[in-house]
Chain A
Amino acid sequence: QQQVRQSPQSLTVWEGETAILNCSYENSAFDYFPWYQQFPGEGPALLISILSVSDKKEDGRFTIFFNKREKKLSLHIADSQPGDSATYFCAARGQGGRALIFGTGTTVSVSP
């Protein structure tokens, strides 16, 4: 059972465009949602995260929009750069400090 879903599976954008990555979840007990960025041959690295008490989190060109009622969130990458080409994972964690549950990832390619 996939508790965290991501779409699209892959995405290609031109340099300078905004990439939008979607994530949805099933468990209303989830309260912490990090996004991880992974380059080939490396482990995932935390990019940005949000708690369920917030509806928006910004960090430079990266913004999370969170809709608790619909159990959906999205990651917007503004002014996309070729160096942003990577796989992005949405994750979620329930209360009590449990292990993160990951989506299957979205692979982003930014064309110059």
Chain B
Amino acid sequence: DAGVTQTPRHEVAEKGQTIILKCEPVSGHNDLFWYRQTKIQGLELLSYFRSKSLMEDGGAFKDRFKAEMLNSSFSTLKIQPTEPKDSAVYLCASRRSGTPYEQYFGPGTRLTVL
């Protein structure tokens, strides 16, 4: 099985732009997660979907961040409008539902906002 796929691997945006990051989970996984990773804060949860239903979201990220599960094998994370403080690595992960199945991460998208 292919692992979690994320595109693009790198993104550079001007302040105020809208960017869309993409994720394809491991086939058969019905839980999907978006995390933001920075050196200071570590990994912060943005959204958690189970079978396309939103289960959890990171309260601090609600206003400009919107994740969607377009179908069971594709998710997007939209940031609108971008700000320089959004510069970080955005990680997507997936797992089979139920405990304690392993959560598999993609390679991440490095976002730089100028």
Contact = CB atoms under 8 A, between A and B. Distances in A.
B45 interface: yes
B56 A99 contact: yes
Nearest to A98: B56
B42 A89 contact: yes
Interface string B20-43: 000000000001010100001111
A43 B103 contact: no
Contacts of A51: 100
B9 to A, nearest CB: 9
Interface string A40-53: 01111110010100
A99 B42 contact: no
A29 interface: no
Contact of B98 (A49, A97, A103, A105): A97
Interface residues of A, number: 22
A37 to B, nearest CB: 11
Interface string B89-114: 00101000111101111111000000
A41 B10 CA distance: 11
A93 B42 contact: no
Contacts of A97: 31, 97-99
B42 A104 contact: yes
Contacts of A105: 42
Contacts of A44: 43, 91, 105
A99 B45 contact: yes
A44 B41 CA distance: 15
Interface in A48-71: 49, 51
A63 to B, nearest CB: 18
A74 B4 CA distance: 29
Given A104-B41, A105-B42, A46 B106 contact: no
Contacts of B41: 104
B43 A32 contact: no
A93 B43 contact: no
Interface string A19-46: 0000000000000101010000111111
